[in-house]
């Protein structure tokens, strides 16, 4: 199959992951699509990020993607039948300064997708906030916590090791939970209001 015009991004991720596994390439889904899956579509993305965890050569990955009709364009693989692109961030699989020790699989549209655990995708988003000052990543982390009923306290040690502003996460989580925010936009607005008050 090389025409993915009517295929959803999660279904395409499953197709790519299973195809690569058949080619001897092990991948784990990371990034925005992992957030989308764990927040049940509160966050939407147009790209698939997968880490090649068994370090197969680029040429092998390139050949496998070509079989699906994808070709390399800059850092990403594209297919003319879809606006969805696929990127393979560099291994090793890590969040912040921590190597990922275990992953899981989710079943989407009858296909198994290897993916970071919910705890590691939260850490990934927190790391982006801490190191790149990416407020959108803090919003995503908060949505992940709320949607999956995780306590921010579970990530305090990670915040301390990475050097982040844990109090901001705690406040954003508290405000979002109290108001029962259900969308990224609501959480983003809450963060803006908190940051304005801190000026």
Q: Where are the domains of the chain?
A: 9-116, 128-197
**pLDDT tens digits for range 153-173:** 999 999 999 998 999 999 999
pLDDT of residue 8: 94
Residue 137: Cβ within 10 Å count:
20
Report the chain (199 residues): mean pLDDT per 10 consecutive residues.
91 97 98 94 92 96 98 97 97 91 94 97 96 95 96 96 94 97 95 93
Rounded CA separation 34/79 (Å): 21
Tokens 């020790």 found at: 101
pLDDT given at position 2: 84
Q: What pLDDT does residue 191 have? A: 97
Q: How far apart are CA 36 and CA 117, in angstroms?
A: 13
> Structure pTM?
0.92
Neighbours of 198 (CB within 10 A): 9
**pLDDT recorded at residue 68:** 98
Q: In the CATH scheme, what is the code of domain 9-116?
A: 3.30.460.40
- Per-residue pLDDT at 13: 98
């Amino acid at each position: 199959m090389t025409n993915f015009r009517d295929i959803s991004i999660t279904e395409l991720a499953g197709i790519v992951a299973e195809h690569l596994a058949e080619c001897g390439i092990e991948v784990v889904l990371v990034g925005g699509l992992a957030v989308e899956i764990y927040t049940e579509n509160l966050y939407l993305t147009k790209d698939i990020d997968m880490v090649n965890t068994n370090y197969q050569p680029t040429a092998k990955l390139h050949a496998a993607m070509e079989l699906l009709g994808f070709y390399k364009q800059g850092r990403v693989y594209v297919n003319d039948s879809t606006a969805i692109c696929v990127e393979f961030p560099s291994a090793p699989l890590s969040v912040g300064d921590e190597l990922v020790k275990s992953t899981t699989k989710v079943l989407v549209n009858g296909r198994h997708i290897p993916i970071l655990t919910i705890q590691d995708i939260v850490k990934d988003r927190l790391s982006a906030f801490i190191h790149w000052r990416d407020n959108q990543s803090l919003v995503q982390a908060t949505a992940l916590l709320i949607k999956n009923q995780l306590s921010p306290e579970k990530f305090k040690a990670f915040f301390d090791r990475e050097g982040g502003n844990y109090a901001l996460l705690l406040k954003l989580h508290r405000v979002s939970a109290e108001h029962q925010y259900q969308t990224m936009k609501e959480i983003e607005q809450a963060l803006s209001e908190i940051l304005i008050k801190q000026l």
